[in-house]
């Protein structure tokens, strides 16, 4: 019995990582991967810049709890769609894995896509595989510093742009770009931009295959979704063995060799550094780089292609392979059914949510000797982007009626309203206990009436309103920003409120209209401008509780703390000309404080 020799790694818990420099290969699968990288990165970086009906096409606006996806707007109450989307994603993963192995990992996984992009930049700055290996071993000098520095400069710039784009899905990206250039980003925006950029730089630049091998759980449970008919990257051992080198043009059978010339190009091309000739391994991400590398060698040797190829275990053993089998069919049917169901639900989606709660204190009460009344609280959520007038009716029993505070209830876009509904029915119509009836909430509109719903910003006037209430502390020199100061304030001069309303009486405009100045500002900018006009310092921030004690927290939150960046696109497009478009000239005119 022989004794194994001591290894330099004996006694160590982890094997030291050897840096992998994938060899650049050419072939149909590599072309497909390059195309996938360009398309997927193009979608990621390009979608936030698309516009739809005057707003960002895809925007997950967390502060106002609205999630815009092109022509659709989702609300937290639409969480079901997110759950269905995740189920569809999981079923898609199961379906394609059972059908063709780790297609997701090899062609569409973000780790694969960004790593490939980073490798491109590495090749541009440091050269091919051999040049990069040589550069790693060389001592630090001017040439190495220049090449490494340029590589990391490209990496960092690309990673920061990735973080910027990621934040752009949650903050309007044009606004984000303007504030990034002027270094006016908020703390959370700065954090996520830097964090996501750092994660991209670290994962795609340094960790690379370690994310796939050690961090990603998919590599661990993929075998549970494989069977003997799953398409996987396979080495034809019967044809390739025994492997060995030989001159070109020599018949390998004469030397007792297989078609594999043992060039190791398949290993050098693999981004995870495995040898596919040792069989399927969990590190394999099915990128097919080894197939392209091997096919290139087979072409040079005038051997048939396919020594390494996509195949199934059954096919490699000479048995019949079935592409469509019960597992794949079940996954496919479920996937199509879910996608069809979601699409149908979206086409039939009603932008209204109604919740009815019975009065728990009183089951029913007698209004008079002839009438019985039940009281309900009706909560209405308008999930449309336009305001609606709703009417509540009831049916199901003879003589039944419903009484609310008004004949119609107006609910603004994305707003919620709660009304008390009193359902009355004649005693003779209610027989026994538990008489069913139906409450009907319906949007009503009169085609003969043109309705304009104005939404006004902070009105600049000295007599009443938010500005009038702020003047005293500012004149005393104790005015300052409220809260973080990062919240947007949409403002408008009183003269423009009157002028805008008069203009809308004759303009061909309908629906919601923002009565705000074209240039909204942040609270900190509003504060500095007002202080500059009054010639007073604005150094001391005002705690939220201070104005809340005097004016009420609800008023302070609705006017001064909630970020509202409304732009008068409809009003401007209708031809209205503002008397005041910029804040400082407006304040100087209203407060009679000329410049100079």
Q: For the residues of 514-553, what is the DSSP string, one character each?
A: EES-SS-EEHHHHHHHHHHHHT----SPBPTHHHHHHH-H
pLDDT confidence tier of residue 312, bands split at 50, 70 and 90: very high
pLDDT of residue 387: 81
Token pair 């910027």 is at which residue? Answer: 164
3-state secondary structure 20-38: CCCCCCCCHHHHHHHHHHH
The reported pLDDT for the residue numbered 3 is 41
pLDDT at 544 over 70: no
- 4 pLDDT exceeds 50? no
Domain ranges for the chain? 229-316, 352-444, 452-590
Q: What is the pLDDT of residue 557?
A: 57
Residue 7's pLDDT is 45
What average pLDDT does this structure show over 161-190? 94
**CB 125, CB 256: distance < 8 Å:** no
Mean pLDDT value of segment 277-286: 91
Instruction: List, for residues 353-364, the tens digit of each pLDDT value.
Output: 888 888 767 667
Collect all residues with Cβ–Cβ distance below 8 Å to 226 and sequence separation of at least 6. Answer: 97, 98, 101, 232
Q: In the structure encoding, which two tokens stand for residue 479, read together? A: 């005015």
Measure Cα distances from 424 to 186, 319, 398, 428, 438 in Å.
Answer: 54, 76, 11, 12, 13
Question: Higher pLDDT residue, 282 or 305?
Answer: 305
CATH class label, 452-590: alpha beta
Q: What is the pLDDT of residue 463?
A: 74
Structure tokens belonging to residue 421: 């509904």
Q: Which are the contacts of 446, defined by CB distance < 8 A and separation ≥ 6?
A: none
Q: Of 1-5, 88-92, 180-184, 582-586, where does mean pLDDT reach its minimum? A: 1-5
Whole-angstrom distance, CA of residue 367 vs CA of residue 22: 83
Instruction: Tell me the pLDDT band of 5, cut-offs 50, 70 and 90.
Output: very low
Residue 591 has pLDDT above 60, yes or no: yes
Radius of gyration of the chain (CA): 34
Q: What is the rounded average pLDDT of the residues 571-578?
A: 89
| Maximum mean pLDDT: which of 213-217, 362-366, 458-462, 556-560 | 213-217
Q: Once rounded to an integer, what is the mean pLDDT over residues 5-31?
A: 75
Q: What local confidence, expressed as pLDDT, does residue 340 receive?
A: 94
Mean pLDDT computed over every residue of the chain: 86
Question: Residue 450 above 80 pLDDT?
Answer: no
- Reading the block at residue 149, the tokens are 């520095």
- Mean pLDDT score, 486-501: 86
**Res 508 pLDDT > 50:** yes
User: 583 and 517 in contact (C-beta within 8 Å)?
Assistant: yes
Q: Report, as an integer, the average pLDDT of 459-465.
A: 77
Q: Coil, helix or strand for 389? A: strand
pLDDT confidence of residue 406? 84
Average pLDDT of 59-71?
Answer: 89
Task: Kindly tell me if the per-residue pLDDT of 484 is higher than 90.
Answer: no
Higher pLDDT, 294 or 9: 294
Residues 100, 101, 104, 105, CA torsion sign? negative
CATH of 352-444, one of 3.30.530.50, 2.60.40.10, 2.60.120.260, 3.90.1170.50: 2.60.40.10
Residue 451 has a CB neighbour count (10 Å cut-off) of 14
pLDDT at residue number 465: 65
Task: State the pLDDT at residue 239.
Answer: 94
Tokens of 309: 């190829």
Instruction: Output 591 or 243, whichever has higher pLDDT.
Output: 243
Tokens at 199, concatenated:
């994660």
Task: Report whether pLDDT(523) > 90.
Answer: no
Query: Of the given ranges (221-235, 265-279, 501-515), which has the lowest mean pLDDT?
Result: 501-515
| pLDDT of amino acid 2 | 41
| Contact of 579 with 503, CB cutoff 8 Å | no
Q: 317: which residues sit within 8 A by CB, 6+ positions away?
A: none
Nearest of 217, 225, 208 to residue 287 by alpha carbon: 208
User: What is the per-residue pLDDT for 561?
Assistant: 62
Residue 427 has a pLDDT of 80
Q: Is the pLDDT of residue 543 over 70?
A: no
The pLDDT score that the predictor gives to residue 480 is 78
In the block, tokens 């500002």 appear at: 521
Instruction: Note the pTM of the prediction, 2 decimals.
Output: 0.70
Which of 365, 382, 361, 386 is closest to 374 using CA atoms? Answer: 365
Q: How far apart are CA 474 and CA 479, in angstroms?
A: 4
Residue 331, pLDDT score: 93
In which band, very low, low, confident or very high, does the pLDDT at 434 lie, cut at 50, 70 and 90?
Answer: low
- pLDDT at residue 535, rounded to an integer: 84
| 14 pLDDT tier (thresholds 50, 70, 90) | low
pLDDT at 280: 85
At 472, give phi and psi (nearest 5°): -60, -55
């Amino acid at each position: 019995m022989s004794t194994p020799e001591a290894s330099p790694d004996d006694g160590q818990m982890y094997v030291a990582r050897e840096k992998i420099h994938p060899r650049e290969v050419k072939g149909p699968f590599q072309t497909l991967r390059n195309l996938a990288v360009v398309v997927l990165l193009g979608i990621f970086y390009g979608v936030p810049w698309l516009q739809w009906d005057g707003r960002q096409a895809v925007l997950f606006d967390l502060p106002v709890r609205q999630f815009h996806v092109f022509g659709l707007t989702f609300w937290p109450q639409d969480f079901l769609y997110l759950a269905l989307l995740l189920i569809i994603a999981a079923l898609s993963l199961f379906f394609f894995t059972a059908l063709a192995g780790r297609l997701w990992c090899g062609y569409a996984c973000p780790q694969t896509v960004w790593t490939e992009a980073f490798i491109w930049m590495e090749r541009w700055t440091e050269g091919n595989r051999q040049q990069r290996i040589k550069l790693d071993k060389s001592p630090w000098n001017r040439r190495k510093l220049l090449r490494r520095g340029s590589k990391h400069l490209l990496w960092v710039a690309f990673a920061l742009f990735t973080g910027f784009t990621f934040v752009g899905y949650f903050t309007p990206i044009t606004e984000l770009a303007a504030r990034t250039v002027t270094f006016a980003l908020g703390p959370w925006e700065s954090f996520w931009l830097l964090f996501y950029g750092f994660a991209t730089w670290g994962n795609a630049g340094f960790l690379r295959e370690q994310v796939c091998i050690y961090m990603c759980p998919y590599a661990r449970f993929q075998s549970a979704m494989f069977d003997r008919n799953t398409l996987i990257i396979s080495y034809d051992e019967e044809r390739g063995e025994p492997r060995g080198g030989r001159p070109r043009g020599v018949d390998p059978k004469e030397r007792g060799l297989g078609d594999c010339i043992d060039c190791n190009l398949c290993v050098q091309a693999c981004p995870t550094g495995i040898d596919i000739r040792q069989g399927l391994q969990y590190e394999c991400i099915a990128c097919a780089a080894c197939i392209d590398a091997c096919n290139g060698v087979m072409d040079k040797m005038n051997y048939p292609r396919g020594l390494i190829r996509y195949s199934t275990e059954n096919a490699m053993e000479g048995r019949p392979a079935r592409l469509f089998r019960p597992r794949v069919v079940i996954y496919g049917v479920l996937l199509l059914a879910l996608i069809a169901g979601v699409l149908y639900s979206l086409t039939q989606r009603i932008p209204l949510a109604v919740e009815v709660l019975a009065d728990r204190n009183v089951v029913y009460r007698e209004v008079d000797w002839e009438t019985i009344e039940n009281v309900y609280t009706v909560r209405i959520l308008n999930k449309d982007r336009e305001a609606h007038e709703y009417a509540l009716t009831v049916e199901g029993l003879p003589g039944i009626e419903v009484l609310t505070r008004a004949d119609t209830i107006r609910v603004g876009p994305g707003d919620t309203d709660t009304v008390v509904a009193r359902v009355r029915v004649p005693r003779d119509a209610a027989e026994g206990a538990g008489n069913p009836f139906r409450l009907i909430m319906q949007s009503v509109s009169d085609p003969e009436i043109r309705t304009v719903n104005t939404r006004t910003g902070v009105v600049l006037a000295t007599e009443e309103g938010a500005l009038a209430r702020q003047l005293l502390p500012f004149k005393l020199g104790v005015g300052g920003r409220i809260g973080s100061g990062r919240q947007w304030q949409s403002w408008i001069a009183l003269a423009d409120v009157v002028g805008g309303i008069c203009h809308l009486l004759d303009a061909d405009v309908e629906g919601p209209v923002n009565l705000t100045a074209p240039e909204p500002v942040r609270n900190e900018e509003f504060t500095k401008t007002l202080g500059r006009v009054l010639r007073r310092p604005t150094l001391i921030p005002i705690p939220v509780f201070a104005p809340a004690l005097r004016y009420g927290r609800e008023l302070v939150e609705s006017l001064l703390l909630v970020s509202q960046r409304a732009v008068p696109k409809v009003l401007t497009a209708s031809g209205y000309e503002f008397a005041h478009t910029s804040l400082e000239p407006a304040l100087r005119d209203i407060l009679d404080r000329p410049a100079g």
